[in-house]
Amino acid sequence: MKTPATSTLLSALCGAMLYLTPMAETAQATGGPGTDTGAPAGQYQLDPTHSSLSFSVNHLGLSNYVVRFTSYTVLLQYDPAQPGKSSVTASIDPASLRTYYPADYRASHPNSKFASWDEDLAQSEKFFNAGKFPQIAFRSTAVRSAGPGSLHITGELTLLGQTHPVELDATLVGSTASHPMQPGRAAIGFSAHGSLARSAFGMDSFLSPPLIGDTVTVQFEGEFQQAGNP
């Protein structure tokens, strides 16, 4: 038997489902690169509240250690009908990295001049040396379709003052001509990953013996909103 409280709860749940279902359908991609994906061609800026950028590196041959950046910008010029006309640029603050190191860093590193493992990794000359190199930069040099919903991105990464080519594979997660929470503004979401050798940029500490791996895997998940007013 339904009570007044039960009826109220059921009504609320039904209302929530009716509200959420159109949003999910609206945000769903309608096609991959080379087709109409919902979001029109144009410039898209990162939505930092719904994005993440991280890298992982092998630690002692036992695990893949993950580090996340918290301050970065990405600008996307996207043409769903002609992917080759698309481009992407990114700027990362290396001092914004977060490891969420749970142990007592000072106790385990009594001779370190740094206050935390995050600061050590960001500022040490062995690693990102952010005081001397305050920016990591990426710019694409070519974008091509790699099949429905997929892009292959070739670009140049500048790290520790050195610039070398890197490649990324990106997957279209979703696209809409009108953001569910900002009607009239187009939005698009991508997942991207790639890898690089840190030694190529001069970051070669702890490679011999191999305490920390040379291959760095980068992972990006993010949403973009069309630049300008809807």
Q: In sequence order, what DSSP letters do the residues of 202-214 get, joined into one string?
A: T--TTTTTTSEEE
Note whether residue 102 is domain-resident.
Answer: no
Facing residues of 170 across strands?
151, 192
Return the pLDDT at 3: 46
In a domain? residue 193: yes
pLDDT of residue 6: 41
Residue 15: domain span: 4-93+135-226
Query: Is 116 within a domain?
Result: no
pLDDT < 50 positions in the chain: 1-36
Helices (H) and strands (E) in the chain, counts: 3, 10
Residue 113 lies in a domain: no
Is 110 part of a structural domain of the chain?
no
What is the domain-level CATH number for residue 213?
Answer: 2.40.128.110
The model's pTM: 0.83
Closest CA to 175 of 79, 48, 70, 74: 79
What pLDDT, on a 0 to 100 scale, did the predictor assign at position 37? Answer: 52
**Structural domains of the chain, count:** 1
**pLDDT, tens digit (0-9, with 9 covering 90-100), for 64-120:** 999 999 999 999 999 999 999 999 999 999 999 999 999 999 999 999 999 999 999
Pairing verdict, β 87-92 and 72-78: antiparallel
Residue 10 in domain = yes
Side-chain-side CA neighbours of 14 within 13 Å: the count stands at 6
Looking at residue 228, what is its pLDDT? 83
- Token readout for 230 is 């809807």
How many Cβ atoms from other residues are within 10 Å of residue 86's Cβ? 22
Please report whether residue 115 resides in a domain: no
What pLDDT score was predicted for residue 59? 97
Q: Residue 70 falls within a domain, yes or no?
A: yes
